[in-house]
Amino acid sequence: MKKILFIGELPPYSYHGISLSNQRILSVLNDRYYIHKIIDKYANKGMLFSILSILYLVSMLFCTKGGFSYLYINFPTSNLGLVKSTLLVLLSRLKCRNIIVVSHLHRGDFIEYYSASLMSKILSKIFMRLSNNCLVLSRTSKNEIEKEGFSSSKITVLHNTVDVERTMLDFSFKENYIYSLSNYVKSKNLDFVIDLSLENANVNFYLNGSPIELDYFLYLKSKSPENCFLGERVDGVDKLSKIKNAKFLIVPSFNEGMPLIILEALSQGTPVICFNVGYISDYLGEDYLGLVNDISFEAMNDKLSSLLDLDINEYEELSKYSYELFWSNYSPDIIKHEILNVFQ
């Protein structure tokens, strides 16, 4: 049995799109490969923890026996992150000279990062050269990276998916509320959800997520009207139930690759309202009814108002379209074959 060395973030130490994607991919590979995991327990906790993270991962790697066929590792979009990942790849190559390095670019802001400085260009080129295969979220991402001079043969599109079981679409579960699921951090732009609830007082808004930035969470709570309810993180059946029962899912962030929550909503037939950023339109299509092209509060509010005005037949048609979009293109079984084609 071939062996895979994984170095990166996983729940419960990290809980976000990247760690959940890592977990899902490893669960697919676990049936065919022996997987040794070195989990980054100190990621995203400030500079001091970043240094501790490097020391911890390096020490764990030194204590790991060799014999691995693959190294699966994240492709970060920060200078410190790339330095850390480059060091780990070089050390892995010392242990296993012929190891195949599969890096995964989960984010949608690579070109923005790459263009920011000479240092980001140098680090990206070094890391890409060390990678045998770089996984990206969409065809657009692949094309963007190729235009910067990177080899097409090293870049593979691996679409996102979510682990859900297919159930019959049932409109009787739908309730008249708008749902948002995101960690409470400023970069997720959750102010827009609060402001939308102020503008649409006849509809309830529910938010769930981890209060990672506690001050921001308390600020949002202080300005929330009576029809807006802020809760903490939900998982499993509770999360899926809230998504399934919602009339719409709203994603107000300006900076996304392809959020897993969008795929979770589509899988339940819950239409999505989100900005046309990152690679979202690659998955939804440019003409998806909930896509907001103008990046502004006014545009999102107008979109929400127009969708709330849909009659029942129009709404059910959009819900069915969203449901089939996921199950015909991004179901777990479809993406499982994509994953296994990478590690073969």
**10-residue mean pLDDT series, the chain (344 residues):** 94 89 96 95 77 89 92 96 96 95 93 96 98 96 96 95 91 92 95 97 97 96 97 93 97 91 97 96 97 97 98 96 98 96 92
Residues 6+ apart with CB under 8 A from 136: 105, 142, 145, 155, 156, 157, 158
Domain range annotation of the chain: 3-158, 171-329
The SS3 assignment for 43 reads coil
Residue 48: predicted pLDDT: 77
| pLDDT confidence of residue 257 | 85
Task: Please tell me the pTM assigned to this model.
Answer: 0.88
Return the pLDDT at 170: 87
DSSP string, 112-177: HHHTT-HHHHHHHHHHHHH-SEEEESSHHHHHHHHHTT--GGGEEE-------------GGG--SE
Q: How far is it, in rounded angstroms, from Cα 271 to Cα 333?
A: 22
Same fold, 3-158 and 171-329: yes
**DSSP element (H, E) containing 38:** strand 34-39
Residue 84 CA to residue 158 CA, distance in Å, equals 24
Which architecture characterizes domain 171-329 according to CATH?
3-Layer(aba) Sandwich (3.40)
How far apart are the C-alpha atoms of 319 and 263, rounded to whole Å?
13
pLDDT of residue 88: 97
Please list the residues that pair with 35 across neighbouring strands. 4
Q: What is the pLDDT of residue 287?
A: 96
Q: Which amino acid is residue 102, in one-letter code?
A: V
Angle among Cα 99, 102, 105 to the nearest 5 degrees reads 155
Per-residue pLDDT at 277:
93
Class of domain 3-158: alpha beta
Which residues neighbour 257 within 8 Å (Cβ) at sequence distance 6 or greater? 17, 106, 107, 108, 109, 137, 141, 278, 279
